[in-house]
Copies of this chain bind each other. A is one copy, B any other.
């Protein structure tokens, strides 16, 4: 039997399916809730029940990143939470900008849920001079001219777009040009972006329409 140089059981990050990565924040959220309730241990079954998915899926998903549990015992809530934070790079605070200071933009900029979970809104932008300066809640609204300076100053990589659908593609290009690499688009339209830039979408109407089919 020839000796085989054992290969590292390497964690090839490119190999983890997007759909698995997409569920990790959900696991993290459930664990944070448990931590808040002072729960010390949990199991894949308990997490599965809380999230309405299968325990096998949770174990399989986690197995892409390492071994975090103990047979017979399950997972330490704080331990697994911190592992997930680490995997998702959420063990730091990320600066965030909002582009578009209308109704949704202002609401989004003042939503306290971002700061509570690691994202800090550092600026709100609008191309309408009438909106610049006056507050979107506690935030001052900046002109688009200031985009580059602020993104560089705070090393911002995340942007939320709360502009009209017609403006979204142009605005996306503007923020990408200054270094934004993750866009959360609230405008009801699909964006075309270069590889290396990530886009996710929020369109509440799509959700309502989906459910209406079943009524």
Contacts and interface: CB of A to CB of B under 8 A. Distances in A.
A211 to B, nearest CB: 4
B104 A158 contact: no
Nearest to A206: B25
B189 A200 contact: no
Contacts of A208: 94, 96, 114, 119, 158, 182, 184, 200
Given A111-B104, A206-B25, A88 B213 contact: yes
Interface residues of A, number: 58
Contacts of A28: 209
Contacts of A22: 210
Interface of A: 21-22, 24-26, 28-30, 33, 50-52, 87-90, 94, 96, 103-104, 106-108, 110-111, 113-114, 117-119, 157-158, 160, 165, 181-182, 184, 188-190, 192, 198, 200-215
